[in-house]
Structure 1
Amino acid sequence: MTTTIIRDDLSGTLPSSLPRPPDELERLEKPWRRPTGWRFLTRVDNTSIGLLYIGTALLFFLLAGILGLMMRTQLAVPDNTLLSAGSYNQIFTMHGTVMMFLFAIPIVEAIAVFLLPNMLGARDLPFPRLSAYAYWAYAIGGLAFFCTLFFGLAPDGGWFMYPPLTGKQYSPGLNADFWLLGIGFIEISAIAGAIELIVGILFTRAPGMSLSRMPVYAWAMLVVAVMIVFAFPAIIAGTTLLEMERAFDWPFFIAERGGDPILWQHLFWFFGHPEVYIIFLPAAGMVSTMIPTIAGTPLVGRKAIIVALVIVCFFSFALWAHHMFTAGLGVMTMSFVSAASMAVAVPTAIQVFGWIATLWRGKVTMTAPALFLGGFMFIFVLGGLTGVMVALLPFDWQAHDTYFIVAHLHYVLVGGMVFPVFAALYYWIPLIKGQRLSERVAKWAFWMMFGGFNIAFFPMHVTGLLGMPRRVYTYPSEMGWDGLNLVSTLGAFVLAAGVLLFLIDTVRTLRRPEQPVGNPWNASTLEWLPTEDYGTRSIPQVRSADPLWDQPGLAGQVEAGQHYLPGTASGGRETIATSPVAGKPAYLLILPGDSWLPFIAAAGTAGFFLLLTIKMNVTAWACGIAAIVSTVAWLWGSDRKHAISEARVSDTLVLPVGARGTASHSWWATIIMLVVDATIFASFVFAYIHISMRLEVCPPPSASLPDLRWPLIAGALLAAGSGAMLWAVRSIGKRRLPWLALAATGCVVASFLVDLHGYQLAGLAPRTLAWSATIGALLSYQGLHVIILAIAGPYLAARAWSGRLSPSSRATLDNTALLWHYTTLQGIVLALAVHIVPLLME
């Protein structure tokens, strides 16, 4: 159905100005009531999940901080025997890993999951069960991973896990495996969250909230989510290759058998350097949201700051070799990366100057958020200055792997992310129970954290310039580092005391009785509208970038149900899907309710990976089967025919329920997932090309490629399968659809078997040469897709036979068809890459 607008809602007339039905609010509240007691595990709304996410991330921050204090205590005096070398290596590795993977990335996604639904004026983001799955996978897996410390199984190869030291020869135990498998599914959790954020930001904004009116924080999270989609697949590919080397003896990184340890560095830092900006840009978005409120004036240079966010995104992917200046790369490559490393300071500076100009133009009150934002700008600018220093090749060659880099890293990450996060906690914590944290205690906490941080980390610049290397667990007294290390340790404990003071005040505040939230900071963004479990009573019509400042009375109108969707049209959870650019109402999006299935799926996923690591194979596979069954059950009920086909969302507007094809949010979520998929595959292709370029002769004399007839037959079968799936899409509602789905499944399975047979005849030996191992990795990845399609084909057939596929309920079919065609394309690209690269090497 086409959207029908009876009159222009931008003219100033309220969308729902007629008297409201007496039972409308009660019917709205019913589907949004949150389960209590032990059933809170079934909650899927993003507000609840966001709070759990934030609390868990802060727990990991505290745990990592304790590990950092243990390290600083060990280094406080020379020749200390508090920790052994092995224990120190485990604590050092876990400190970095937990801070980077279990705190820094999750906390920025957690705050976004909590804030964005209300900030965008939506009832919820479009995939709440996906958010719940992402959270529980992260929480269960992360806590189990941290507990490896108590059993001597914690990884000890550094948070960067460089081979060959993390290979089986030098790390024969399970320590490295826990890092590889644990971090792998935690990153998958982060990608699931990124898909939710991208689709939510583009499709569930309030009517009238065009991209030009969208909050800067939402812009920052959109940019960051896109960065996650392109950066995180590289680390997933890298950890997969290293685990395959350890488990199957495929020598990707063993130089004696044709591998290359530098390949790991390329894959790791292609993720690792964008990760720095993935951490910083959400903080920058929060700063751009808080500073106008603190100054009481709109953000200066708003458009320039948004453009700067996008530019930083592009620059960040050109900088991964910034961490590899001493790895022996070519002079041209290093010079290019050095120039890009300095150039990225320009868009960052645009944001800093915009913030300063906003503060200059307004009238600042020195509240707790203002203090932490001031500390952030001081510390981050210093970190940026040392960043320009290490971008210079001659200086980096001298400072690399010294404590100067440790100081720079902490000034950028703690200054650029931790201080803005604490400012955000002080600023947004009233949204939970309407209570603000103590301003008096906040000043003590800030000065202890700010002073302690600088006392702890500023001396490390000097320690590094005096030659103290990173990652050493002790040092002799004659080196002259004693006093500086002692000062750094004292500063670390002062910093920790400030964090503890904040924690005590937070617990005290959250134990107070709940009261109305109001708008304590006189902010301009929509999250300060009155909200309940269902979000706002009605979804507001937005007319500017600062709606609470520019639309007087908006809060009262929304609370009175005078804007869009003041009730429930279907009796369930709903929100309005809007057009991605203009923010025009497009269709009514019916959201799933609370369920045990995301929790069971997440617990099963975490249990499968972790138990497989410790060789509890039967229990691990039981967890894996539970994860698959619960996921299938979850999907089985998600694409259903709705009881209504259209809904009146205001006095003047009728919308269709749901959408099909490219207008659907689920179609775009599938596209984003396939982009992630393709980026992982591209990382495997890069590994194949990298290893091939190191050979004198490609293929090597002891290896060969299969005869061309096998990939041609396999490609023809893949094309036939895609053809059958195209026919199935056009046969929706007809009896032949399930048979076409099964035929497509047979084609894709037969294709892989033919491909595999061709490589077996060619004598592919992944354990002998890294070159063969990279081909084996590509084939394994294609095989994974074939297994997924072998499940998806019968699943489609079962849905068709049960009557769950129809012209009005076809998202499962359309999205599976996308995956099918992608697998066909991937198989063809695999064959072309494997056969063409050796020709180019001649």
Structure 2
Amino acid sequence: MTARDDDLARLEDVWSTRRGWRFLSSVNNTNIGLLYIGTALLFFILAGVLGLLMRVQLAVPDNGFLGAETYNQVFTMHGSVMMFLFAIPIVEAIAVYLLPNMLGARDLPFPRLSAYAFWAYAIGGLAFFCTLFAGLAPDGGWFMYPPLTGLKYSPGLNADFWLLGIGFIEISAIAGAIELIVGILFTRAPGMTLGRMPVYAWAMLVVGVMIVFAFPAVIAGTALLELERAFDWPFFIADRGGDPLLWQHLFWFFGHPEVYIIFLPAAGMVSTIVPTLAGTPLVARRAIIAALVGVGVFSFGLWAHHMFTAGLGTLEMGFVSAASMAVAVPTAIQVFAWIATLWKGKVEANAPTLFLLGFMAIFVLGGLTGVMVAVIPFDWQVHDTYFVVAHFHYVLIGGMVFPVFAALYYWLPLVNGNRLSEGLARWVFGLMFVGFNVAFFPMHVTGLLGMPRRVYTYAADLGWNGLNMLSTVGAFTFALGVALFAWDAWRSLRRPERPVGNPWNAPTLEWLPSGDYGNRSIPRIDSIDPLWDRPELVREVEEGGHYLPRTATGARETIATSPVAAAPRYVLILPGDSWLPLIAAAGTAAFFLLLTVKLHVLAWICGVAAIAAVLGWMWQADRASTVADVDIGHGESIPVGATGTASHAWWAAIVMLVVDLSIFACFAFAYVHVTMRLTVCPPPGATLPSQDLALTSAGLLVLGSLLVWFATLAVGTRRLPWLVLAALGCVLASCAVDVGGLLDAGLDPTATAWGAGVAALASYQGLHVVTLAVLAPYLAARAWCGLLGERSRAALDTIALVWHMTTLQGIAGMLVVRLVPLLMA
């Protein structure tokens, strides 16, 4: 055996995938990505079946196929599963599968985080869906508007399953976003500058940032509504100072960016596929990247687009209306660039091309009706009609489902080398395209004729009969196309594996020969379209002629590069397969679901198991390598691992803390919102703790952060664990002062929404204190075991960041609670 063969054998051994039941412990992005995609497509089919049940019910007037209660559950689950269990997960799933190879990396930087995100989503999502069969499915609509979803009007557990069930799904999505942001910025192939990065990677980077800022709003909103239902804290009860519109602000601050969180990855796929199919570079590439960023920015100014009929002020509605129209400009830039690229090249009428053309036609129509409903007087007329149902299906199915199907036809050969049938693809596309338009285009007319949304039946003399029957026929036609695709995909995946090659003559790196270890060697990139500009790159990479042709440390590795220029910085050691992510995810899902059914003891046992599993994989991951610098090829040597701000783990912690700060900001907004409804603040009978207690609490928090800062300077000494534990004592004392002060002041969160807002901010600070109470002993234990050193201090650095954020949020919470009443005086 030659040295080159021996290097390859070692790579294959280190990265080999376990077989049989042990496959479930895999953390490799290829395996997790395929499981992720398959599960998301399963939920697409399940949600589609629910949609067909709705169409059967609405096919004829006065139908008794589904009763009102059952229809409400089916309606709610259809929307919730499509949005939370399919649309968002499928775009993250495809990114987990594609991005490492597309970026020239061996894997994403936190493989166990990806595995945890998938299993939390899969286990929790399936359990959530099964509530349908127990009659416990949520029935308040996928938007869950109070007061109808409050305890008074929804006394059962149905709404709680939605509120707590969505919780772990959002945790999964945020975990995936952190993984993608850090992976895109820090694990690109050397030489792949931001200017050379694939447009799809740009799209996923923008989407990851959007998730970080948008998803905290729905997390905060669901937490507040569950606190109201579980503990009678009246955030949304108008009689006690609450406001149902508060939910709409929080929900749509997440909900409208979510539309673009779904669309932008699809746009990135289109921008990647179109040049390949046209055989020419993408027209206006820089303008498309700028447009992606522009859409991401504009999307956060659109949340009240859904609230034009809610009684907002003229100025606010005018601003949102203008933003709703302006977002069409960067979107149009992308559409015109795709058309220009297709016009410039020579395109064949294959399966991906058909679905891309179908996407452009449907999405443009959806965009036009979007501009229509951005006009406030028109929106007042159609807001709660089937016109809006038609609009958002044109945007979401046209803007995401058709590009996803194009992507499946385009990238499925990566799995086992087999393409899907071109002959069947024409039938699939025809059935889906015709079925979709027959199903949803008539809904524009149905809505203009006055048919309201969210009704389970209608009278026979309203003039909607034929249109509804036509929509039902179209829905089943669309479903037949999906079923035909599923059969063809199952048939193709069962075929014997073949060499993948590059069947489309694509220019991007995911078509390089690869195995479980990714590429045989990590290439150096010097152009936007590397496989077109350097055809010899395929042979060079496969022969191990580039970076890391062997395992330098005996572990799984990739190269961490600088975020802008993609210069090699250090070798990033990746964790291997483990059962801990699966255990942690199962514990997380069980914690939320068992809390829902009031099995509190079992829920907390599962929660503790989840925390223990997470601490276990943190313990394993943060270890220094015995190797200093290693030769990575091209005559370059770089260190193994990094610490502080040079480390990818440090930046991942920063992203996580941005999420944390965003959630805090939403709680603070809720407090300010209910406070502004008061005539007198604090309301009669309510007081705050004395200023001296607040200053004492803030001083203890600052002292704790100072002690942690000293601990970061005491690495390798015996003082470190005692400094950390002393800091924990300060934080616990601060929490005790806060709780004692609130009790002495007689604050009653059940009396008014203002009191509930104060209690919510205090409770969020308490959650941080509990977190530090877990992390501080963990850090001390690592120090006592000799596992904290200058080259293995990631846990110390990241926990120090969490500690300082706890201090800042605690002080900020006190200031918000005390200053807002003064400003209103």
Q: TM-score range, shorter-chain basis? A: over 0.9
How many Å apart are 1:611 and its aligned residue? 1.1
Q: Which amino acid aligns with 2:506?
A: A
Distance in 1, matches of 2:123 and 2:752, equals 37
How many Å apart are 1:20 and its aligned residue? 5.2
Match of 1:24 in 2: 7
Distance in 2, matches of 1:22 and 1:415, equals 48
Structure 1 stretches of 4+ moved >6 Å = none
Match of 1:438 in 2: 421
Match of 1:4 in 2: none
2:508 maps to 1:525: yes
Counterpart of 2:108 in 1: which secondary structure? coil
Distance in 2, matches of 1:225 and 1:725, equals 30
Root-mean-square deviation over aligned CA pairs: 0.7
Distance in 2, matches of 1:629 and 1:93, equals 35
**Do the aligned residues in 2 keep the contact of 1:217 with 1:288 (CA within 8 Å)?**
yes
2:268 maps to 1:285: yes
Structure 2 residue corresponding to 1:189, chosen from 157, 164, 172? 172
Any idea what the Cα deviations from partners look like across 1:270-302, whole Å, max 9, x if unmatched? 000000000000000000000000100000000
Match of 1:725 in 2: 708
**Do the aligned residues in 2 keep the contact of 1:608 with 1:620 (CA within 8 Å)?**
yes
How many Å apart are 1:676 and its aligned residue? 0.0
Distance in 2, matches of 1:33 and 1:792, equals 33
Counterpart of 1:478 in 2: which secondary structure? coil
Match of 1:16 in 2: none
Q: Which amino acid aligns with 1:261?
A: P
Distance in 2, matches of 1:621 and 1:255, equals 33
Counterpart of 2:151 in 1: which secondary structure? coil
Match of 1:70 in 2: 53
* 1:452-471 equivalent positions in 2, closer than 5 A: 452-471=435-454
2:434 maps to 1:451: yes
* 1:481-492 equivalent positions in 2, closer than 5 A: 481-492=464-475
Q: Which amino acid aligns with 1:302?
A: R
2:153 maps to 1:174: no
**Do the aligned residues in 1 keep the contact of 2:643 with 2:794 (CA within 8 Å)?**
yes
**Do the aligned residues in 1 keep the contact of 2:624 with 2:641 (CA within 8 Å)?**
no
Distance in 1, matches of 2:448 and 2:685, equals 49
Match of 2:528 in 1: 545
**Do the aligned residues in 1 keep the contact of 2:546 with 2:634 (CA within 8 Å)?**
no
**Do the aligned residues in 2 keep the contact of 1:524 with 1:547 (CA within 8 Å)?**
yes
**Do the aligned residues in 1 keep the contact of 2:194 with 2:565 (CA within 8 Å)?**
yes
* 1:657-736 equivalent positions in 2, closer than 5 A: 657-736=640-719
Structure 2 residue corresponding to 1:145, chosen from 89, 103, 128? 128
Distance in 1, matches of 2:333 and 2:813, equals 43
Distance in 2, matches of 1:118 and 1:187, equals 26
Any idea what the Cα deviations from partners look like across 1:790-810, whole Å, max 9, x if unmatched? 111111111100000011110
Counterpart of 1:587 in 2: which secondary structure? strand
2:639 maps to 1:656: yes
Any idea what the Cα deviations from partners look like across 1:203-225, whole Å, max 9, x if unmatched? 00000000000000000000000
Any idea what the Cα deviations from partners look like across 1:591-645, whole Å, max 9, x if unmatched? 0000000000000010111011112222222211211111111111110121212
Counterpart of 1:479 in 2: which secondary structure? coil
Distance in 2, matches of 1:761 and 1:709, equals 13
Match of 1:7 in 2: none
2:29 maps to 1:46: yes
How many Å apart are 1:86 and its aligned residue? 0.1
When structure 1 is superposed on structure 2, of 633-642 and 135-144 the one drifting more is: 633-642
Structure 2 residue corresponding to 1:250, chosen from 233, 236, 239? 233
* 1:463-612 equivalent positions in 2, closer than 5 A: 463-612=446-595
Structure 2 residue corresponding to 1:108, chosen from 91, 95, 100? 91
Q: Which amino acid aligns with 1:681?
A: F
**Do the aligned residues in 2 keep the contact of 1:232 with 1:271 (CA within 8 Å)?**
yes
- Stretches of structure 1 that go unaligned for 5 or more consecutive residues are 1-18
Match of 2:327 in 1: 344
Structure 2 residue corresponding to 1:92, chosen from 75, 97, 101? 75
Any idea what the Cα deviations from partners look like across 1:38-70, whole Å, max 9, x if unmatched? 111100011110000000000000000000000
Structure 2 residue corresponding to 1:754, chosen from 737, 742, 752? 737
How many Å apart are 1:21 and its aligned residue? 4.2
2:782 maps to 1:802: no
When structure 1 is superposed on structure 2, of 492-501 and 642-651 the one drifting more is: 642-651
Any idea what the Cα deviations from partners look like across 1:755-784, whole Å, max 9, x if unmatched? 111111111100010000011000000000
Counterpart of 2:292 in 1: which secondary structure? helix
Q: Which amino acid aligns with 2:81?
A: V
**Do the aligned residues in 1 keep the contact of 2:210 with 2:257 (CA within 8 Å)?**
yes
Counterpart of 1:23 in 2: which secondary structure? helix
Counterpart of 1:574 in 2: which secondary structure? strand
Distance in 2, matches of 1:788 and 1:503, equals 44
Q: Which amino acid aligns with 2:543?
A: A
Match of 2:342 in 1: 359
Q: Which amino acid aligns with 2:154?
A: S
Q: Which amino acid aligns with 1:739?
A: W
Match of 1:812 in 2: 795
Structure 2 residue corresponding to 1:61, chosen from 22, 28, 44? 44
Match of 1:408 in 2: 391
Match of 2:291 in 1: 308
Distance in 2, matches of 1:667 and 1:700, equals 43
Any idea what the Cα deviations from partners look like across 1:60-107, whole Å, max 9, x if unmatched? 000000000000000000000000000000000000000000000000
Distance in 2, matches of 1:409 and 1:395, equals 16
Match of 2:375 in 1: 392
Q: Which amino acid aligns with 1:586?
A: R
Distance in 1, matches of 2:185 and 2:611, equals 30
Paired-residue identity, %: 72
How many residues are aligned here? 824
Q: Which amino acid aligns with 1:114?
A: Y
**Do the aligned residues in 2 keep the contact of 1:20 with 1:561 (CA within 8 Å)?**
no
Counterpart of 1:480 in 2: which secondary structure? coil
Structure 2 residue corresponding to 1:769, chosen from 749, 752, 756? 752
Distance in 1, matches of 2:47 and 2:634, equals 54
Distance in 1, matches of 2:407 and 2:209, equals 23
- Stretches of structure 2 that go unaligned for 5 or more consecutive residues are none
Match of 1:164 in 2: 147
Q: Which amino acid aligns with 1:145?
A: F
How many Å apart are 1:552 and its aligned residue? 1.9
How many Å apart are 1:651 and its aligned residue? 4.3
Structure 1 residue corresponding to 2:255, chosen from 237, 247, 272? 272
Structure 2 residue corresponding to 1:745, chosen from 728, 731, 740? 728
Distance in 2, matches of 1:711 and 1:462, equals 60
TM-score, with structure 2 as normaliser: 0.99
2:186 maps to 1:203: yes
Distance in 1, matches of 2:824 and 2:5, equals 76
Distance in 1, matches of 2:776 and 2:475, equals 57
Counterpart of 2:572 in 1: which secondary structure? strand
